[in-house]
Amino acid sequence: MNIQNIRKDFPILKQEIYGKPLIYLDNAATTQKPVSVIEAMNDLYFRLNSNIHRGVHYLSEESTSAHENARKYIADFIHAKHTHEIIFTRGTTEAVNLVAFSFGEKNIQQGDEILVTEMEHHSNFVPWKMLAERKSAKLIVLPFEEDGSLSLEKFQSAITEKTKIISITHVSNVLGTINPVKEMIRIAHEADVPVFVDAAQSIQHLSVDVQDLDCDFLAFSGHKIYGPTGIGVLYGKEKLLDEMPPYQGGGEMISSVSLDKITYNELPFKFEAGTPNYVAAIGLQAAIKYLEDIGMQDVIKYEHDLFAYATEQLLQIEGLKMIGTAKKKTSVLSFVMDGIHPYDMGTMLDKTGIAVRSGTHCAEPVMQHYGISGTIRASVALYNTKAEIDKLVENLNKIQMILS
C-alpha cells in the first residue's frame, strides 16, 4: 500500500487550515472521498442523469442499470446471497428505523423484549426505544464491562423467551471495541432470536461477510466508507424481509394501485418508496471499488499498525486516559485529559490544523457509564499516517501545557 499515492487520491487532504496542513482525524464521523467517487457521480450527472425504473428511453435505462449494478456490486462486497437482500436507504439511521418500524410492527407485542447494548450509537438505540414505547414492550440494555467490552455470558443470560430481536453494534463509535458479533449471533440463534448488526463503524475497517456472520439484518452508511452522503444499505435475509410490511408508502414500492386496493412490489423495491438516491448509489459502488482495488486485507493491516502506533503514542501523554481499552479495537481513539474540557482541546487542536471530534458522539449512555461529559475522539482511516499521529501527540502536549 503506497500511502503517498493514496493521499493524492483525496483532494481535500491537500489543503491547509489556518496555515497548517490539514490532519483529518474525524473519520468515524465521516470519511473523505477519493477522486474516483466524485468523478463517478459527476459522470452520471454529465452523461446519464434520468430518473430510474420509470422510463423507456435510453438515459433512464442506462441510469437504471447503473443503479442495479451498484446494488449487485454491494451485495457481492458483503457476500449477500441475493441481490434483492440489499435495500438502499439514506444511511444506517434510516435502516435501523426501517427495521424497528417494519419488523416491529409485525413481530413485537406488549411485554416482548428488545435487546440492545449500552454502547450503541443513538441511531441504534432511540428507534428501538420508540418501538418499545409504541408497543408497550421492554427495551433491555446489556451493560458493557469497564474496559468497554461485552461479556458473552451476560449477553446469553440477557436473552429470555420474551426476546424478539437483538440489535448490536459491530464496532463502537466511542470505545472502538470490536464486538464478537459472530459468536453473539450464534448464541441468539440458539434461542431463535434474529440479530441486527450496526456495521456503521466496521464496514470500512473490517471484512464483513453477512453469510459468515449469519446476521439477520446489517446496516451501514456510504459516507463512512469513502462514499457519498445520503446513501446507506440495509441488508436483510430474504425470508425476513419478505414477511415484513412496507415502511413508507409511495411510488416504486407498489406493483399496482387502484382506488380500493394496493399491491406491494417485490424485494427490494417494497422498501424503496420514492425516487432513490441513484447518484449516491453509484458513488457508493465507486467507493467500494476503490477499497477493493487497494485490497481490503492491505487496508486492514495498514490501519491495524497505525492504530497500534497511535494507541501507544497517546498513552505516553501524562494525564491522558483512554476511554475503551478492550483487547480488540479498531480506528477509534477516545480519551479524556486531566483538567481539560474536551471542547477546549478540540477547539485548540483545530487551530493547529487537526480535526478531531469532541463531545458525546451520539452515545450519551457511554458517557453516563464513565461519569464523564464527553471525550476527545481521534479516528483513523486508510489515508492517515504515523507522522500525523506524531503531530497530534505533539500538539496535545503543547496545548496541555498552555491550558494547565
53, 71, 84, 121: which one binds ligand PLP (CB under 6 A): 121
- Which of these ranges, 91-99, 210-218, 241-249, 382-390, lies near ligand PLP under the rule CB under 6 A? 91-99
Instruction: Identify which of residues 116 and 340 has a Cβ nearer to ligand PLP in the complex.
Output: 116
Instruction: Identify which of residues 112 and 198 has a Cβ nearer to ligand PLP in the complex.
Output: 198
Residue 92 is a binding residue for ligand PLP (CB under 6 A): yes
Site for ligand PLP in 207-236 (CB under 6 A): 221
Instruction: Identify which of residues 323 and 340 has a Cβ nearer to ligand PLP in the complex.
Output: 323
- Which of these ranges, 63-71, 119-127, 296-304, 310-318, lies near ligand PLP under the rule CB under 6 A? 119-127
Residue 267, C-beta contacts closer than 8 angstroms, at least 6 positions apart: 84, 85, 87, 238, 241, 242
Cα-based distances in Å from 193 to 127, 243, 315: 18, 15, 40
CB of 352 to ligand PLP, least distance (A): 24
Cα-based distances in Å from 283 to 16, 41, 143, 355: 26, 6, 37, 25
117, 163, 173, 334: which one binds ligand PLP (CB under 6 A): 173
Instruction: Identify which of residues 141 and 399 has a Cβ nearer to ligand PLP in the complex.
Output: 141
- Which of these ranges, 121-129, 154-162, 247-255, 310-318, lies near ligand PLP under the rule CB under 6 A? 121-129
32, 93, 384, 395: which one binds ligand PLP (CB under 6 A): 93
Instruction: Identify which of residues 239 and 328 has a Cβ nearer to ligand PLP in the complex.
Output: 328
Radius of gyration in angstroms for the set of CA atoms belonging to the chain, rounded to a whole number: 22
Q: Where are the alpha helices (DSSP H) in 295-331?
A: 296-314
27, 31, 32, 124: which one binds ligand PLP (CB under 6 A): 124
CA–CA gap between residue 289 and residue 69 (Å, rounded): 12
- Which of these ranges, 90-98, 137-145, 206-214, 236-244, lies near ligand PLP under the rule CB under 6 A? 90-98
What is the per-residue burial (b if ≥16 Cβ within 10 Å, else e) of 154-183? Answer: ebeebbeeebbbbbbbbbbbbbbbbbbbee
- Which of these ranges, 38-46, 61-69, 76-84, 87-95, lies near ligand PLP under the rule CB under 6 A? 87-95
- From the list 22, 38, 59, 362, the catalytic residue is 362
Owner of C-alpha cell 483487547: 327
Instruction: Identify which of residues 173 and 358 has a Cβ nearer to ligand PLP in the complex.
Output: 173
CA–CA gap between residue 63 and residue 71 (Å, rounded): 12
Residue 288, C-beta contacts closer than 8 angstroms, at least 6 positions apart: 73, 74, 77, 225, 227
Q: Cα 216 vs. chain centroid, distance in angstroms? A: 17
Residue 204 is a binding residue for ligand PLP (CB under 6 A): no
CB of 103 to ligand PLP, least distance (A): 17
Residue 149 is a binding residue for ligand PLP (CB under 6 A): no
CA–CA gap between residue 169 and residue 223 (Å, rounded): 17
Site for ligand PLP in 182-201 (CB under 6 A): 198, 200-201
125, 365 contact by CB (below 8 A): yes
Residue 214, C-beta contacts closer than 8 angstroms, at least 6 positions apart: 182, 185, 186, 189
Backbone phi, psi, residue 28, to 5°: -70, -25
Known catalytic membership, residue 215: no
Q: Give the total of residues touching ligand PLP (CB under 6 A).
A: 12
91, 268, 342, 353: which one binds ligand PLP (CB under 6 A): 91
CB of 211 to ligand PLP, least distance (A): 22
CB of 403 to ligand PLP, least distance (A): 28
Cα-based distances in Å from 55 to 51, 69, 75, 105, 267: 7, 17, 25, 34, 20
Dihedral sign (CA 285, 1, 333, 153): positive
The binding site for ligand PLP (CB under 6 A) comprises: 91-93, 121, 123-124, 169, 173, 198, 200-201, 221
Catalogue the active-site residues.
362
